[in-house]
Structure 1
Amino acid sequence: MTDRLTHSDESTGISRRTVLASGGTLATATVFAGCLSGGGDGGDGGDGGSTTQVAIISSPAGFDDNAFNDNAVQGLEEASEEFDLEYTTVEETQEAQYESVQADVAESGYDLIVCVGDNHTDPLTTNASEYPDQNWMLINNIVEGADNVSGWIEMNNEMSFLAGVAAGVMTQQEFEYEGSSTDPDGSTVGFVGGEDIPLINAFEQSYIEGVAWIDDGIEVLTGYGGSFSDTGAANDVAESQIDDGADIVWHAASAAGGGVFSAAQDNGRFALGVDVDQSVTEDQYQDVILGSAVKALNEATYTVSEAVVNGNFDEYVGEQNLSVAQGSIDFVVGQAFEGDLPDALTQRIDEAKTGFENDEIDLTCGPTSC
């Protein structure tokens, strides 16, 4: 296994757009990849000293995804700057290893273990019971009945809907930028998923419904690359969709999404980012990333870490949410396009957000599945 630094954007919340759009390098207290054994690098953890020790275990996409995982780490970085707290990143991309990795980390004595992604749910259902005194945070799901798990469900369906609204608006606009253009006569957009699983199926369906909310005559082409890390596979799917008329493609493929951006760039079309402002985290593609559907996951990891430091973790046990109504789900314009996109985009995005706030928009799928 190899030790390495973890990189991320420095987003601190959707309400702070200028910070959301800044990039940087995270200086983690202790960083290593792969499985732990014995005491690991976690120091004394909660059993010694006053420094709060936190470990974060990646989703299958791994860290340096410029999206979901890195956004979660960012909240811990912010917490480490504010409090006497150190964190360790544990990269494990094989879902079959999650139960044993979770257990190994729990044996190492951390005050909080953050598990990134719904893939951790079944293993954590076992380990939360096996390690009842361990504080856990699960992202993208909950563990029913566990009094030691803070389960955070981001309203990915709302986020995906906003991406669909943006795609639906822009495909009907005549827009050009540095060699890329829309095709308003075609009115076709694309979606590229990573793995074909219930979570990403919910992203897809909610995106389709966002597009239809603008105009149900817009065609939506969909496909899956089969991976959250294979940029080549995602590129192939996006290239095919562009060949079939898509002028804007959104992805829910984590690190593999770079392949969607390169397809748009190589073919004179546009793309949309996911989870964070990817016009910043993937700034080599900023000329084609019109905007990103984002969620303030960093706020969640910061909040739970702060609660552990302050001794009030119990207040966050059970289901917690990130939603449009809470200001934690949004759509942000790409850094190359600020002030240049049509007013219709801002207007329709605002209307959609108001619709969610007033419970006026009903979606087929929930945040984690359909």
Structure 2
Amino acid sequence: MKKIIMILLTLVVMSGCSAVTKSTSSPEPYSVGILLSDSGLGDDSFNDLAFNGLERSRDELGIIFDYAEAPDGNMEGALEELINQKHDLIIGLGFSVQEALEIEAKKHPKQAFLLIDATSDLENVTSVTFKEHEGSFLVGMVAAMTSKTGTVSFIGGEDAPVIHKFQSGFEQGARYAKSDINILTGYTNSFNDLNAGERLAGDQIKKKSDFIYAAAGMSGIGSLKTAQAKGVLSAGVDADQFFIAEKSVATSMMKNVDIAIYNFIDNTLNEKKQTPSSYELGLSENGVGLAQIRIVNLKPDQMKKLDEAKEKIISGDIDVEAP
């Protein structure tokens, strides 16, 4: 990773036959570029969290940053633009950017990259992934505990391995809380299709689902709003999405992308050891978690079971299997 460039400013003031020289030095700010994922800025979820992490890094650590989007799908071009801006670090957000990022990383071996939600073996790429299945386990428990129909459901965006982790954890948690729970699943095949999210949520509600967990980006927002319109409970994802549908969202599975980005930059600037080329963050690392539970009132024994499950996952007594 490039070191912060030091600029030496020398002021020479001459008076008669004598000269007085003063030297001051100030480092250039550490610079970060980020390529956002498909749904772009303003998704109240994954992208906005990453942006928040960079804003915090700017305010508290003094970095500067810029961002790029690739609505036309030209991720290599967007990454090239960021590379040409000479950033110290370039972040690729989301598994869909991996192929383009690795192409650019091979072309620019001295450029440092951070890949979030996928794992790369390249030397100049650090990877950060999350144990979404651990946080989703807790959401599944809340869903099963609050369901009156005995049917709950999951909505994914693209049919991809990282989304399978959300689904698998949700299913395991729901069955841990209630072994005979009925679970419906479906995919919108897009992270950016509100209508598809609305339609799929509507179909699941017709099949008696009274709790919908959506891990589908902007498509998921359509699902949450439909759940609210139909009077059923739901759970958000990545960020606390309560304010999207305040009469429906009982909790959210927090995926702390903002904290991961801030900590990585902080460690880099303070030269703290970061020997692994990849990091996987779960409940014990505060990489994932559960947002405040609202709207519903869990019974004391249910809250106890939920808290105990979290501690057992952290201790390893409960092994939430990844798909």
Equivalent of 1:325 in 250, 273, 284: 284
Unaligned runs of 5+ in 1: 1-44, 172-183
Match of 1:33 in 2: none
Equivalent of 1:291 in 251, 257, 271: 251
What displacement does 1:129 show? 2.3
Deviations 1:68-119 (A, max 9, x none): 111111111101001221111212245x522332233212200111111111
Match of 1:152 in 2: 128
Match of 1:163 in 2: 139
Match of 1:346 in 2: 303
Q: Secondary structure at the match of 1:315?
A: coil
Relative distance call for 1:221 and 1:56 in structure 2 (3 A) is same
Q: Secondary structure at the match of 2:100?
A: helix
Equivalent of 1:220 in 154, 175, 183: 183
In 2, Cα distance between equivalents of 1:188 and 1:125: 42
Q: Secondary structure at the match of 2:98?
A: helix
Match of 1:50 in 2: 28
Equivalent of 1:360 in 310, 317, 321: 317
Equivalent of 1:78 in 38, 43, 56: 56
1:50–1:84 Cα contact (<8 Å) kept: no
In 2, Cα distance between equivalents of 1:108 and 1:47: 18
Relative distance call for 1:134 and 1:317 in structure 2 (3 A) is farther
Q: Which amino acid aligns with 2:308?
A: E
In 1, Cα distance between equivalents of 2:241 and 2:210: 18
Unaligned runs of 5+ in 2: 8-26
Deviations 1:15-53 (A, max 9, x none): xxxxxxxxxxxxxxxxxxxxxxxxxxxxxx979861121
Q: Which amino acid aligns with 2:167?
A: E
Equivalent of 1:233 in 191, 196, 200: 196
1:130-149 mapped onto 2 (5 Å cutoff): 130-144=107-121, 146-149=122-125
Equivalent of 1:88 in 43, 54, 66: 66
Deviations 1:135-172 (A, max 9, x none): 1111112211x33222111111112212111111111x
Match of 2:96 in 1: 119
What displacement does 1:216 show? 2.3
What displacement does 1:209 show? 1.3
In 1, Cα distance between equivalents of 2:160 and 2:238: 18
* TM-score normalised over the length of structure 1: 0.76
What displacement does 1:230 show? 1.0
2:214–2:224 Cα contact (<8 Å) kept: no
What displacement does 1:61 show? 1.7
What displacement does 1:124 show? 2.2
Q: Which amino acid aligns with 2:82?
A: V
Q: Which amino acid aligns with 2:80?
A: A
Match of 2:225 in 1: 262
Match of 1:181 in 2: none
What displacement does 1:307 show? 3.2
Query: Considering only aligned residues, what root-mean-square deviation do their CA atoms show, in Å?
Result: 2.1
Relative distance call for 1:262 and 1:344 in structure 2 (3 A) is farther
Match of 2:14 in 1: none
1:190–1:249 Cα contact (<8 Å) kept: yes
What displacement does 1:317 show? 5.1
1:266-277 mapped onto 2 (5 Å cutoff): 266-277=229-240
- Give the structure with higher Rg (CA): 2
In 1, Cα distance between equivalents of 2:295 and 2:6: 50
1:161–1:207 Cα contact (<8 Å) kept: yes
In 2, Cα distance between equivalents of 1:123 and 1:204: 27
What displacement does 1:345 show? 4.2
What displacement does 1:348 show? 2.7
In 2, Cα distance between equivalents of 1:344 and 1:288: 23
Equivalent of 2:45 in 67, 72, 78: 67
Match of 1:102 in 2: 79
Q: Which moved more, 1:124-133 or 1:247-256?
A: 124-133
What displacement does 1:211 show? 0.8
Which structure ranks higher in relative contact order (CA pairs < 8 Å, sequence separation ≥ 6)?
A: 1
Aligned length: 301
What displacement does 1:125 show? 2.3
What displacement does 1:239 show? 0.7
* TM-score normalised over the length of structure 2: 0.86
Q: Which moved more, 1:295-304 or 1:356-365?
A: 356-365
What displacement does 1:311 show? 4.8
Relative distance call for 1:197 and 1:321 in structure 2 (3 A) is closer
Equivalent of 2:295 in 328, 337, 345: 337
Q: Secondary structure at the match of 1:143?
A: coil
Relative distance call for 1:121 and 1:345 in structure 2 (3 A) is farther
Q: Which moved more, 1:352-361 or 1:65-74?
A: 352-361
What displacement does 1:212 show? 0.9
